[in-house]
Every structure is written in C-alpha cells, then in structure tokens.
Chains A and B, each alone.
Chain A
Amino acid sequence: MSYLPQLRASLVEAAARQRDAALELPGRAAATGRRRRRSGHRGRVVLVTVALVLLAAAVALAATGIFERGTPVGPRVPPSPTTQDGAALPGSARLLPLRVADPGGGAAWGLRVVRTTRGLTCIQLGRVGFGTVGVLGQDGAFGNDGRFHPLSDDYLAGLPLGCSVTDTRGNAFQNVLVQAVPASGLIGGPASVGGCEEAHESYSGPRRETCPAVDLRDIYYGLLGPDAVSITHLTATGALATTPTTGADGAYLVVLPHTTPACVTIPAERHARAGRPRPQRRICPSSGQQATGGPAVEPGAIRTVTYRDGHTCHSPPARLAARSPGCPPVGFVSPPAQPVTAAQLAAPITVREIPGRVYCGSRRGELIEPCGARTPRGFKRLAGGPPSLLVEVSFSSRIAIPDSHSYYSFGVTGANSPTCTINSGQFGSTDSDIRVGARVSQRFLIPYSCPGVAHGTVSYVPTTGPASSMSVVGLPGQTASIPVGQFSFDVP
C-alpha cells in the first residue's frame, strides 16, 4: 500500500496531461490556438483562478515549510560597541560561499564574516539555512524543536577565538579549531538554550546533557587571506584531500567526526621512593568543548596551505605541534601603528587599597568590589580563592585608544615571600576604547599570603600584526610594549 496515495494519483494524472499535451498535433494545436483566441476572456478568468489556487497552496506550504525559523541565538548581554570585540557593524555580516557537508547529513556547515566597531573581523560558524548560519534545534538545543535558530550578528562572544585584527586591505587572518562541537552547531550559548556536550570532568558537575559521541564534531576553519589558494587536509576516512580556499578571504572549513583524545596508561611504579608502590593507572585527558586559535594555522587535520605564488607551507599533525609551529599568516598588511613614545604616554599612577573580607565581581567581569552579606544586583560572589587584598590602580590616559589595535597592560611583581603563591606577570589589561584624558582603572586581588611591598608597571601594547582579539601580552602580532608608569603598594 502506498504511503501517499494522493500523491501517486496526482502524479499519474499529471503524466496523463503531459502525454496529452505531447500528442497534440500541430494542426490541432493551431485550431486550439484559434479557439483559445476566441475564448480569451474565459481563459484569463481560468488562469487567474488557477493562480489564486496556486498562491494559496504556496502559502500553505510555506507555513509548513522546513525548519520554521526559531528564536535567534544571541549574546547573554548585548555587546558594547566600545568594549571587548565591539558590536557588529550594521550590514557588515556576509555569508561566505562555502558549504561543507556534516558527517551525519542535513544542513551544510558554513561561515559568516562580521566586521565590528572595534576594527575586528569575526567568523561565525554554524549550520546554513535561511541565507545565514545558525543552530539546529537538535542534540538537546532549544528543546529539540527542529527549528533553525540563526546566529544574531552580535553573537561573537560565544564563538571562541573567532575575531582578529583587520588589516589595511580589509583582510583578516584567523584559524580556529573547535573540538567536540555538537552537530546542532551550538557553540557556547546561554545554559537556557540547552544543548549537549561531551562527557568531561567538571568540578561543578555537568551543565548540559551528554552528547552521543556520534553527534560530536571537530571543526577546523579560518581565513587565510587572498594569497592562499588551497589546503590539503584530513578527511573523515583518514585520507588526505585538497580543497580550494574560498574567495578573497581564503576561507576554509573542515568538519570531521570528533576524535576523543587517547587515554594514557601509566605503568605501575615498582620502586616508589616513599610509601607503597603505585599500581598501574589510566589517565584520560579532560575533554569537553575546547577551542584553540590564532593567526597561525592550527596543527592537526590541516596539513598544507598552498599560496598563489606556488609555495606550500606544511602544517604539522597535532602530535608534532609542540616541535613545529603551524603555518604563519601570509599577506597581512599591518594597519599603521599610533606613533607614540614613552614620553607621550607617561602618566602618574595612583594606587588605592580596598580591604574586604568578601568580594563580588560583576557578571561581565569588569569590576570587583567588597560586598557584605548581600550580593549586589548584577554581581556574583567570588569564592574559592585565598584571602586577598583588593588593589585599584588608575591613571589618566594621555592618548586615545580608538579600537582593538592597542591596549594597556598591568603587571605586578609580588613581594618575595616563602608563603606567596603568586608569580610576577600580567594582572589585567584594558579591553575597551579610551578617550584622551579618561581615567583608566584596573582592580585585582593580591593574596594576603604575599605580605610586603609589591611593584607594578603599566604598559601600552600596540597590536599591529595579524593578532587575535585577546588583549594578552605576548601573543603574536603585538609589537613591543611601551612603559606608561610604575607603582607600588604594601600588602599587610
């Protein structure tokens, strides 16, 4: 018995109509033409009626069409145009003509590029539908509603390492590897969206349901710039394939079934120095969704990048990544650095100690302050660290920081003490636009276990290379930092 007998009958009727039309002889067709001309008015009425019926049918089909569009995936907090990655520039979002099949079938994967108010180019990764990228309501996401949930233009923070500095020719160079992505395409996103994740060790317990292994993907994607012409990469079968990059962006996208990192067996230690000999142990690396990225190609599945001038860069497999760096960006044209000197930047630094027993941090992480029994609205209690002193360092900026191409960094060297658990290093950085003369401040916690005088430095860091958007000192693409001033404070 047919599953759709009405469809079958309609098709057979349509086949009969086709046959009849084909059998119509030229002479008969001419006669029919004459008849049609004579009955033109009635013909038009019939045509209009048919058109209306078809229109109604089309509307009905559209209403039941595939993936009704679901609620968009947006950031937890609306982005500020002047902080972090900034906000999407209106009209800048562009779906790249790149489609890659999912190992499980269904909607293709694709990339969308968005420019931001802070001079960054961000890549959005997702399943393709409705002319954009988004998340499918499956794998626990959106209650498995089966709908297509487009990523909002501003959904940037949920996409790890997806933003990078735009060069003077408007190109960006960014390479990302995201592991254990559910086939739904949901990366990050608020917990209320649901979704699933790979089983992993977590101190706070699993936040989401566990994905079946077959529904997880490892995804390599990025922008290699206009000079890249192709990549050679591993496929799901383990074979190598060569795929041309797409457009002037030099975009690529490789979607593979997720590979769980291998567990390591540590043999029994027969001659332990102290205590009982240890039995054989099996240690499995903590997994779960992880992302790495930067201007260089992520080692792993991408094995070569071939450029327009014929040269080929070889990228190492993951197991050799420590010994050999990935392919560096080619063709980046640095935006002009702000011509500033140490003398122009120098500013007196103020330090304020704000003692407290308990501290609260704002949910966006930009402010820490002492709090009592009650947690202020928009804040969460900071717990788990050692008893600490809150220190605020501030100064007036002598120059403007108009975008993400530069930032201020705060470094502290802890007092030399056997109880001190902190080392010297970067204790924070600005991550926003700053006007000339604006007060810049940074707060950080110094453990009371580091008593004595601590010294610190404020530096200005220009980012003119093909860097990612993170304001962390020492990442590729940064030029030498310039000192702004020094400070010190006493930890009781």
Chain B
Amino acid sequence: MAPDLSNAADHDLLVLAGENPEAFGVFYDRFEADVLAFFWRATRRADLAADLTGEVFAAALESARAFRPELGSARGWLFGIARHELADTWERGRVEDRARRRLGLEPVALDDEALVRIDDLGGAVTGDALRLLERLPEDQRAAVEGRVLEERDYEELARTLSCSESVVRQRVSRGLRSLRERLEQTR
C-alpha cells in the first residue's frame, strides 16, 4: 500500500524523494502554482513561466539531497533556486535547460488550454491584492513584496532594506493587515 504523503512536511518530501519518487511529485504539487505565478509575474508570458518552472523543479530534484532544513524552509530554498534561475535568464536572454538535460527531461509541451490556465493564474495573483499592495506605504510594500511575493527570508530582507529583522517582520505584519482590511472593503 502506497504511503500517504499528503501530510508530510515539505522538507520530508525532499528527503523521501530519494526512496519514493512520488514524494517529489507531491512536493511539485504543493509549489507548482506558486512557482508558475512567480515566473508569470516576472515575465508576463505563460510559455516562459512554464519553461522556467520546469528548470527550477529539475534543479530542485537534482539537489534535493543537499537540502538542509536547519538552514531554512524548503519553500524558501525552492524560491531561492527560482530567483537565481530568473536572474540567470534575464542575464543570458534565454531559459537555461541544463538541469532538465542532465535529468533527461523532455521539453514542456504546452497546449492553448495550459497557456490560458497559466495566464489566468498569473492574472489572479496580480489582481486586487497587487493593486492594493501598490497603495501601501513604501516601507510596508517593499517588505510584503520581498517576503510574500519574492519568498525572501527575513534576514536577507533586513540586509536589503537596511533595517533589523524585527523591523521587517513588523512591516510585513502591518502591511498584510492593511491589505486584508482593504481587500475586505473592496468586497
């Protein structure tokens, strides 16, 4: 009988993937939409978002055994790979496929329906919440954007925003509270 992986922690899925390939499938299910939306926001193109998502998960699979939970969350680790991939892509002007080639993965085939669904996903994310995000005070906007949209950890954000971690946490908290209140007012 196949083990139930649905309740496994994110980092456990990465460890289990070494023995049970389906664990990586469950890990993929958990973050697919977030990663796709992350790349859609950056590129505004469904095909590129899919291409980049493929490369990020391939890179994650390759280095899953090297993941160390004591250094941070699996989600943060995955988005760290995504950010590097994005930066590399802008720099080189094309999506790398090194990890997928090493793993022997086929290029991602996309039909019109998949493209529309990814566009909808990106559009939904950039809907009301993002419009309201722009209206937050600048310090809160930068903190929420860095933490929630870019998946950066507090320590890194504190360095980027030139303030302490506790200040970043406070800004994220206040920003999210304002967003929630404003979202409720728009409904």
Contact = CB atoms under 8 A, between A and B. Distances in A.
Contacts of A99: 87, 91
Nearest to A214: B134
Contacts of A18: 18, 61, 103
Contacts, number: 149
B45 A129 contact: no
B123 to A, nearest CB: 14
B139 A7 contact: no
Interface string A123-167: 000011111000000100000001010000000000000000000
A10 interface: yes
Interface string A60-85: 11101111010000000000000000
A108 B61 contact: no
A238 B139 contact: yes
A235 interface: yes
How many chain A residues sit at the interface, stated as a range, is 35 or more
Nearest to A138: B44
A239 interface: yes
B32 A66 contact: no
Nearest to B44: A146
A340 interface: no
Given A236-B138, A237-B162, A6 B106 contact: yes
A54 to B, nearest CB: 5
A67 B93 contact: yes
A235 B25 contact: no
Given A4-B50, A8-B25, A238-B138, A15 B97 contact: no
A108 B87 CA distance: 8
B161 A16 contact: no
Given A57-B101, A240-B162, A4 B48 contact: no
B9 to A, nearest CB: 18
Best-buried of A11, A127, A146 by chain B (most CB within 10 Å)? A11
A105 interface: yes
B118 to A, nearest CB: 6
Contacts of B36: 3-4
A66 B162 contact: no
Contacts of B106: 6, 10, 57
Contacts of A17: 103-104
B65 to A, nearest CB: 9
A22 interface: yes
Interface in B19-52: 19-25, 28-29, 32-33, 36, 41-45, 47-48, 50-51
B90 A128 contact: yes
Interface string A1-30: 011101110111111111100100000000
Contact of A4 (B19, B32, B61, B138): B32
Nearest to B49: A3
A15 B17 contact: yes
Given A11-B58, A57-B106, A3 B33 contact: yes
Given A8-B29, A11-B58, A146-B45, A257 B138 contact: yes
B53 A4 contact: yes
Given A3-B36, A8-B25, A108-B87, A14 B94 contact: no
A236 B24 CA distance: 39
Contacts of B109: 6
Contact of B91 (A11, A60, A129): A129
B91 A108 contact: yes
A128 to B, nearest CB: 6
B152 to A, nearest CB: 12
B91 A66 contact: no
A452 interface: no
Given A3-B118, A236-B142, A14 B104 contact: yes
A57 B97 contact: yes
A438 interface: no
Contacts of B134: 214
Q: Which 8 pairs, one residue from A and one from B, show the smallest C-beta to C-beta distance?
A: A65-B94, A15-B21, A130-B93, A107-B90, A16-B21, A239-B162, A14-B103, A15-B24
Interface of A: 2-4, 6-8, 10-19, 22, 50, 54, 57-58, 60-62, 64-67, 69, 99, 105-108, 127-131, 138, 146, 148, 214, 235-241, 257
28 contacts: A2-B28, A6-B109, A7-B57, A7-B105, A11-B58, A11-B61, A12-B24, A14-B103, A14-B105, A15-B21, A15-B24, A15-B61, A16-B21, A17-B104, A19-B20, A50-B104, A57-B97, A57-B101, A64-B51, A66-B93, A105-B42, A106-B42, A106-B43, A108-B87, A108-B91, A148-B93, A237-B139, A237-B162
Given A4-B108, A7-B105, A67-B94, 17 more contacts: A4-B53, A4-B110, A6-B106, A7-B108, A12-B21, A12-B24, A14-B105, A15-B23, A18-B61, A54-B101, A62-B94, A107-B90, A108-B90, A128-B91, A129-B90, A237-B161, A257-B138
